[in-house]
Every structure is written in structure tokens, then in C-alpha cells.
Amino acid sequence: MCGIAGVINYHRQPTQPSLLASMLASLKHRGPDQEGVYHQGHVGIGMRRLKIIALDNGAQPCYSNDGRYVLVFNGEIYNYRLLRAELIAQGFRFETESDAEVIVNLYQRDGEAFYQRLDGMFALAIYDRIDDTLLLARDPAGKKPLLYALHDGVVSFSSELNSLLKDERIPRHIDPVALDYYLRFRVVPGDRCIFQNISKVPVGGGVSFALGKESRQHYWRVAYQPEPDEKPLEQWIDEIDEYLNQAISKRLMAEVPIGTMLSGGLDSSLITAIACKQSRHKLKTFAVGFNESAFSELEYSRRLAKELGTEHHDFIITPGEAFDAAHDLVKHFGEPFAFPSSIASHFMYRLARQHVAVVLGGDGADELFGGYARYSLVANFPHLPAEHKLPRKVDLLNKTWRADEFVECYKRLLTDGVGGQLRQQLYSRSMALRLAEEGSVAQVRSYRDELTMHSDPLSAAMEYDFNHWMQEAQMVKVDIASMANSLEVRAPFLDRQIVGFGSRLPGQLKLHAGKEKYLLQCLAKRYLPDYIVDRKKQELAVPLEQWMVSSMKTLIIDTLTSEQALSRGYFNPDKLRQFVREFDGSHSYALWTMYMLEKWHQQFFDN
């Protein structure tokens, strides 16, 4: 696992080595073990490496056999040995045992068709020394980030925004549409950046640069197309059992110690149980909890770890530690990010890094197999039950919904930051005008188009969540929080075979008789005790609402009512001051979303 960065000046003016060195220094936490650089005139690309495989001879950049292509790469390719053998049989030579050298030679042979052969997680850059072109690409699930800026004929790219902004030629102009999206959903959209002049390489695609101009390619996108339920239940269980065992086996490949996250929930417990059967060594497992018992799963993770015979480690997070971690993560995320679960993730990954370099996690299972409480509402739309299991926030039951209002209903389900009415009350006149000029309605139109592609609301919602919610929130959180601690996280549920299987799975095998993730529960009975299989799902959450009306309240209020915060221009100062001072525990996620925006501003502008 690595961090990558580079600069290409298409005016053919020399790239300053000091700029690339500064960009890579900002990525040292992603790759503390080694640095590598290719610098030739107007081109400079490099990487910071976290050693996982090919410990002694896996340095980058890597070069193709013909010397034409130079590659830097962040990620892991699980089928690289198979591809390497195939290339050797065709006469290719290798100087390393790394997956990176396989990629660059595969590109020499296949061109952009190389992408379809890669099984893994990755963000990469390939420079063509003859044609003076650059290709940036990301994996199909968006597990590894990659940002870039094209400004006045200069291309700069990096794994993290903080590193990219070391190139001071890049303007820092706020994108009001991205900001409005953030306030609504607590994350910045995957196809925009908080800064107008910076872009993200598309998930499942790439961006090519030639003569200072860019073109985009889309290689892979998940589409949910459920098959008829014409097979016996046991056959479905056997299939996912085989796929998951294969996915875990591939992800246990490493030359460094590996562990698993073990929250005590279904997904991480299932992965841990299977990994225990496959691993040749005693598995290390990790969990975090809180003194607030309603938010802690430690009793389940400890009990299961003892039964599975793992070497278990856990950690209890206090409010003070949580607050410090939230502030520290701001610079790593680079953009405003207001999911408090990132705090718990940070402590889990910090704990794990004290013992291992790689962990397996359960990410992706909810989006593929129906793990969110909101899916039960979606499956019954427009007939919503009088009671639902959503933990807070969403006011859905104050009206009778029509079948053609699904987009609006689902938008409300996902809006858990600052709601639409509250945003309009708080926005300054200038902010409201900017949004009107920028056409924020385009985001809503895109949202509507994607959600109405299916006649089946459940498939529409889950496909949208996989291609947006998961990539914009979950994948960003996992990558940033883990790499801030120099830890690699692998996600067996996001294996290509499992993604294909999950996207074809009939809806009644996802939600059945009031049970979420029904097929995974059936599989889990082969590996796990009933107290894990049958327990109610508990999200990785922190006691934010409790802390915000107690230990955190004064600091949050003081921060948001400071002259500095009130002068940003986004909100009407009088209305923001009134909203913050009248806070009594309601609208806690709205307040936290605005607080994290202000902390981000302090980090990226005031500092």
C-alpha cells in the first residue's frame, strides 16, 4: 500500500524536485517504509511505500520491459501471480516480485484493456515516455483515492488533497455545489471536490492527459439486475460460501502479519471465523468500544474471539480522545467529512497497527446484501410502516407518499446532515445566489436519473448506495482513517465475484421476513454461534449526541459563534448564532456537520 503523487508540465518547463519531495513528504504516513521517484525534465512522479509483499525488491516506480512506460501504484492486486506467469510465458522479464511490475507490463501488452484483468484495489499512474501522456486510474469500488488538478497546462496528482495542495499554483476556490451537498449528506460528492479546480479520478475509470488536455474513460460500473429466485436456498448459500472463502483466501496473501477487525457484528465476525479456518497462524483481532454501553459491542467481540481462539485486542474510547482524533483527521481527509464513525475507525486502526500491517474488514456487505434499516422502508414504498428502525432524524411519516415520489423519499432518507429547510433558513443571501448561479439543481437531476433507472425501488436504492454512498462515505473513511495509521485494510465482500453475485441476488434473499442480509445470516449459521447471527445490527457509531450536550457542547458553540466562523459567508450570522445557542440535543448531526466544516476551514485556510 502506498501514496502516489506527480507533476507533469505540458509547457515542458522543468518540474521542481522540491515540489515533488514536498508532496511525497505529506504522504509519508501512507508509506513510511520507502520512497521512489522518477524525474526527467518536465515530468516528476513518485510514491511512498508501505511494504506488504516483495519486501526486499518491490521498489517503485516500475518500468515496462520496453522501457516506454513508468508506473507508480497504490493498492494490492490479488491475481498478480497468475498474470505474472502468463506474461513470463509470453517472454516478459521481471526484476521484482511485486504486483506493480506486473501491472506496467500488462499495460505494455494490452493497453487500456489491462484494467479488466486486474483483481484488487488500486489507484495508479502510468506515464508514456514516448507519447508524453499520462493515465490515472482507480479500482471499480473506489477503495483507493486519487485526485488531480489541470491548471494552465500543468497536471498535478496525488493520493490525498493535503499533498496535492503543496502545488501552490492550484487555486483554492470553494465549489458551492459540493459544499451544499456536504451539508446535506455530510460528505463531498464523489464526482466533485470541495475546491473547484480539483477533480477526482472516476471510480471504475480513468483520466488520460495529452498535450495538457484531459479525457475520461469509464471501464466498470456496478448495475443491480436481480435474477429470478429459481434456485434452492442451499444452492445460493453454497455459492456465496465459495465466493467468500475464495475472497478471504486471496486477501490473506502477504509477507507481513495480518489480522481482522472484529466488532461483534455479523460481517466482521463471519470474515474472522472463515479467516481463522484458513490462516496458518493464530489470528489477531481488534475492536473498540465506549463506556456508554448502548454504543459498545465489546461483550460480543470478546466472547467470540475467545471461542474462535484469536489473540484479541480492544480499546475503550473516551470523549476527550475522540474529540482530539476528529480534529487530527481533518487534515487527512482534506475535504469536510462529518461521519463520527471515522473516529471509531481511527482508534481501531491505530490499535491494529500496533500488532499487524494488514487487516480484513467487513465493508461492502451492507450495500450488496441489504444491511441498512432504510432498505426495509424502500422495499415497502410507498406504504411505509407506522414504526421503523431508523435511529434518528428522518421525518418520513408526516405525509402519504405516492409511487412517483420515491426519489424525494430516498433523498430524505439519506439527508442526515443539515436538512433542506434548515439550510435555506441558515444560508446567507450570497450563498443562496451562488447556488442558484452554479445550478445545484444539476445534482438533484443526476440523483433522480440514477434512482429512476429501476422500476424496483430496492435495486435502485442499493445500486445508488454502492456507486455513491459507499464510495463517498465508507471507502473514503476506511482509506483515510487506516492510512493515517499506516495500515492496509482489505475488504473481501468487495471482491469482484462477490460484487457480481450480490448485484444479481434476488431481493427476497436480501430482505426476508423482516430480516436484513438474510442470505448472509443463513451462511453465518455455518460458522457462527446464534448470539452473533440473531442479534440486532449495530452500526459502528459513537455517542455523539450524548457528548454534544455534555463534554463537547461549550467548545462547539464557541467555535461556531466565533467572529471567524460567522464571517465565512455561507450562513446568515444572526441565524447561525441563534441556531447554535438554542441547540438542545436535537439537530445534533446538523451541528456536527457545520462544526467539522469550520474545523476544516481553520485547517485549510486559516493555517
Residue 328 lies in a domain: no
CA 431/CA 137 separation, integer angstroms: 34
Report yes or no on 332 lying in a domain: no
The grid coordinates of residue 415 equal 439527508
| 215 pLDDT more than 70 | yes
Round to the nearest angstrom and report the end-to-end CA distance of the chain. Answer: 29
387 pLDDT more than 90: no
Amino acid present at 462 = M
**Grid coordinates representing 484?**
493515517
Q: Is the peptide bond before 226 cis (omega within 30 degrees of 0)?
A: no
80/208 same-domain check: yes
In whole angstroms, what is the distance from residue 472 CA to residue 476 CA?
A: 6
Mean pLDDT, to the nearest integer, of 553-581? Answer: 94
Tell me the C-alpha distance between 357 and 145, whole Å: 19
- Distance between CA atoms of residues 575 and 482, nearest Å: 38
User: Per-residue pLDDT tens for 436-478?
Assistant: 877 655 555 566 667 766 778 899 999 999 999 899 999 999 9
Tens-place pLDDT, residues 492-506: 999 999 999 999 999
Q: Is residue 103 part of a domain?
A: yes
Alpha helix ranges (H) inside 38-98: 80-89
User: Is 213 domain-assigned?
Assistant: yes
Looking at residue 294, the DSSP 8-state letter turns out to be G
Q: Are residues 45 and 189 in the same domain?
A: yes
pLDDT in tens, 132-143: 999 999 999 999
- Tell me which residue range forms the domain holding 404: 381-458
Q: What pLDDT was estimated at residue 93?
A: 97
Whether residues 356 and 214 share a domain: the answer is: no
Measured CA to CA, the distance from residue 199 to residue 221 in angstroms comes to 19
- Residue 240 in domain: yes
What is the per-residue pLDDT across 520-548, written as a single tens digit (0 to 9) for each? 999 999 999 999 999 887 766 778 888 88
Residue 389 three-state SS: coil
Looking at the structure of the chain, the number of domains it has is: 4
In this prediction, residues 109-125 reach a mean pLDDT of 96
CA atoms of 258 and 310, how far apart (whole Å)? 12
- pLDDT score for 407: 85
Both 269 and 304 in one domain: the answer is yes
CATH number for 522: 3.40.50.620
> In this model, does residue 353 exceed pLDDT 90?
yes
- Between 349 and 419, residue with greater pLDDT: 349
Final residue belonging to a domain, choices 191, 218, 245:
218
pLDDT at 414: 84
Residues 414, 349 share a domain: no
**Cell 499520462 identifies what position?**
134
Same domain, 22 and 66: yes
CB 174 within 8 A of CB 194: yes
pLDDT digits (tens, 9 = 90+) for 321-340: 999 999 999 999 999 999 99
Query: In the prediction, which pLDDT does 94 show?
Result: 97
pLDDT at 396: 62
Active centre residues (catalytic): 2
C-alpha to C-alpha distance for 73 and 570, rounded to whole angstroms: 38
pTM score: 0.94
Amino acid at 21: A
Using N-to-C axis directions, what is the helix angle for 298-308 and 266-278, rounded to 10°? 20
Of 248 and 377, more confident? 248
Last residue of a domain, one of 534, 561, 592: 534
CA-CA-CA-CA torsion sign (481, 487, 488, 490) = negative
Binding residues, as ranges, are 99, 288
- Give the pLDDT confidence score for residue 199 in this predicted structure: 97
Partners of residue 217 on adjacent β-strands: 206
CA-to-CA distance for 555 and 166, rounded, in angstroms? 30
3-state secondary structure 311-367: EEEEEEECHHHHHHHHHHHHHHHCCCCCCCHHHHHHHHHHHHHCCCCEEECCCCHHH
Residues 452 and 385 in one domain: yes
Binding-site sequence positions for L-glutamine: 99
CATH number of the domain bearing residue 102: 3.60.20.10
Q: Does residue 302 share a domain with residue 209?
A: no
Please give the DSSP secondary-structure letter assigned to residue 526.
Answer: T
Alpha carbons 361 and 436: distance in angstroms, whole number: 41
Q: Is the pLDDT of residue 45 over 80?
A: yes
**Among 57, 64, 67, 61, residue whose Cα is nearest residue 48:** 61
pLDDT value for 439: 61
Whether residue 225 is contained in a domain is answered as no
> Does the pLDDT value for residue 384 go beyond 80?
no
pLDDT: which is higher, 293 or 348: 348
Parallel/antiparallel/unpaired status of strands 511-512 and 311-317: unpaired
* Whether residue 563 is found in the same domain as residue 449: no
- The mean-pLDDT minimum among 88-102, 283-297, 437-451 falls in 437-451
Is 119 domain-assigned?
yes
Say if residue 525 is in the same domain as residue 549: no
Average pLDDT over residues 158-171: 96
Indicate if 450 and 515 belong to the same structural domain: no
In a domain, 324, yes or no: no
Final residue in a domain of this structure, among 408, 426, 458? 458
Same domain, 412 and 486: no
Quick one: DSSP state of residue 114? G
Q: How many CB atoms lie within 10 A of CB 311?
A: 13
